[in-house]
Amino acid sequence: MKLEDLLLQRSESHCELCKSDTNVSLFEVPKAPHRDADGCIMICEKCLAQIDKKQELDSKHWQCLSESMWSEVPGIQVVAWRMLNRLRNESWAADNLEMLYLDDDKMAWAKATGDHENDASVDLHRDCNGAQLVSGDSVVLIKSLDVKGSTLNAKLGTVVKNIRLVENNTEQIEGRIEGQVIVILTKYVRKQA
């Protein structure tokens, strides 16, 4: 039996963290010692986006960990521990973290990513007004920009459609102006409504 089929059966086609049955997919827990049923879990899109720091942490959503942290599946325990650590400023999360016991091997695995040292803040691409930008958005330049290595001058008010986010740099996006793909600093754009 394929691993995904085995996990779907184990989870009854629900997210193993929040019990959602919407868009559930296989998630390999980072730094798992093996790619097996213990090191992989089924999770929904919302959990995945927040684990991967592509969405702000929703404290109310993660209160589901009060129940799922008691799972016997090591991968669920490790993810629960990591997420509770990111939410440790919430009293309910701190209380659950005190109760959650991981043996030495699971604790080493849980700490292996260093994620527990981070707070709940998430670095997202944001425009000059703080609005979240996503790939495919349209933005308006709030300043005229000279493009390095080119004679192109992007004028104030220029609309840049179908932007792409620069991976690992939340201060930059890519967009096409006059047929050229350029990198634009997010502080010089406003999301178009």
Give the range of the structural domain holding residue 84, as residue numbers without chain letter. 3-117
Q: Are residues 152 and 81 in the same domain?
A: no
For the chain, give the mean pLDDT.
91
Q: Is residue 110 located within the same domain as residue 152? A: no
In whole angstroms, give the CA distance from residue 56 to residue 61.
11
Residue range 33-57: average pLDDT?
92
Q: At residue 56, does pLDDT exceed 90?
A: no
pTM assigned to the model: 0.70
Could you tell me the CATH number of the domain that includes residue 172?
2.30.30.40
Same domain, 80 and 151: no
Cβ(186)–Cβ(171) below 8 Å: yes
What is the spatial distance between Cα 86 and Cα 105, in angstroms, rounded to a whole number?
20
| Residues 30, 97 within the same domain | yes
Do 94 and 34 share a structural domain?
A: yes
Residues 105 and 152 in one domain: no
Residues 110 and 167 in one domain: no
Rounded Cα distance between 28 and 184, Å, is 34
Nearest one of 187, 180, 193 to 154, comparing CA atoms: 180
Q: pLDDT over 90 for what percent of the chain? A: 72
Domain identity same for 63 and 146? no
Residue 27 shares a structural domain with residue 110: yes
Neighbours of 65 (CB within 10 A): 23
* Averaged pLDDT, 120-132: 81
Q: What is the C-alpha separation between 29 and 48, in angstroms, rounded?
A: 11
Contacts of 84 (CB under 8 A, 6+ apart): 62, 65, 69, 93, 96, 97, 100
Tell whether 92 and 147 lie within a shared domain.
Answer: no
Asked whether residue 100 falls in the same domain as residue 143, the answer is no
Instruction: Quote the number of domains for the chain.
Output: 2
pLDDT confidence band for 118 (50 / 70 / 90): low
* Per-residue confidence band for 53, with pLDDT thresholds at 50, 70 and 90: confident
User: Do 96 and 179 fall into the same domain?
Assistant: no
d(CA 30, CA 111): 10
